[in-house]
Amino acid sequence: MTVYSNTTPLLAFSAIGRFSLLHQVHGEVRIVPSVVEECMAGGIVEVPDLRNVEWIQIQPTPREDSRFFMLDAGERDTLSTALRDRADLVVIDERLGRNLAEFHGLRVVGTLGTLKKAKQMGLVPGFLPLVRQLQQAGFWYDEALVQRLAADVGE
C-alpha cells in the first residue's frame, strides 16, 4: 500500500509522543522534501529527523503542479507526488488539501482517522484521551467530528 503523509499529522503524532503510530497503522509512509523542510523548520513540536526514520521514504517531487497553487509547499508537493505515484492513501488534515485530494481521486484520512484506526487495532487504549492531548498541544479539531469518531469506537 502506498501511503503519503503531509506535515500536520507528523507534527501531531510527535506532539503527543506517538510518532510511531503512523507506521503501526499505515506501514511505510512516503513524504516529500518540502514536508521534511517544514518539519525541520523548528517550532514548539520536535519531530524526529525524518531523513533517519527507517519507515519513512522521502520521494522526489514532480515539477510544480498548478492544480494545487493555493496550497502550501508541503501540501502541494504531497498531493502532486501522491497523484504521480497513484497512492492508495494520503494522510492530511487541512480541509482544502483534503478536498482537492478527494476531487482528484485520492483517498484521504487525517490524524483523527489514524487515531481511530489505532484504537480499532488495539494499539492505543483510548481515542478521546489522545485527542484531548492533541488539543492541549494546540491542534484544533471539530468537536462534532471528534464525538462521531469516538462513538464509532465505543467511547
Q: What percent of the chain has pLDDT over 70?
A: 100
Is 58 part of any domain? yes
Is 71 part of any domain? yes
pLDDT at 69: 84
Strand segments, DSSP code E, in the chain are 3-5, 29-31, 56-58, 89-91, 108-109
* Per-residue pLDDT tens over the stretch 46-88: 899 999 999 999 999 887 777 888 888 999 999 999 999 999 9
Is 153 part of any domain? no
Is 103 part of any domain? yes
* Per-residue pLDDT tens over the stretch 126-145: 999 999 999 999 999 999 99
pLDDT at 149: 97
Give the mean pLDDT of the chain: 94
Specify whether the CB–CB gap between 6 and 91 falls below 8 A: yes
pLDDT at 34: 94
Is 104 part of any domain? yes
Residue 15 in grid coordinates: 506532539
The CATH number for 80's domain is 3.40.50.1010
Is 101 part of any domain? yes
Residue bearing the bigger pLDDT, 90 or 66: 90
Query: Hey, is 118 helix, strand or coil?
Result: helix
Is 128 part of any domain? no
pLDDT at 112: 98
Residue 23 in grid coordinates: 507506521
pLDDT at 99: 96
**Which one-letter amino acid corresponds to residue 111?**
T
**In total, how many domains does the chain have?**
1
pLDDT at 66: 78
Expressed as residue numbers, the domain containing 20 is 3-112
When pLDDT is cut at 50, 70 and 90, the band that residue 43 belongs to is confident
Please say if the pLDDT value at position 122 is more than 90: yes
Q: Which residue has the cell 462513538?
A: 151
Is 32 part of any domain? yes
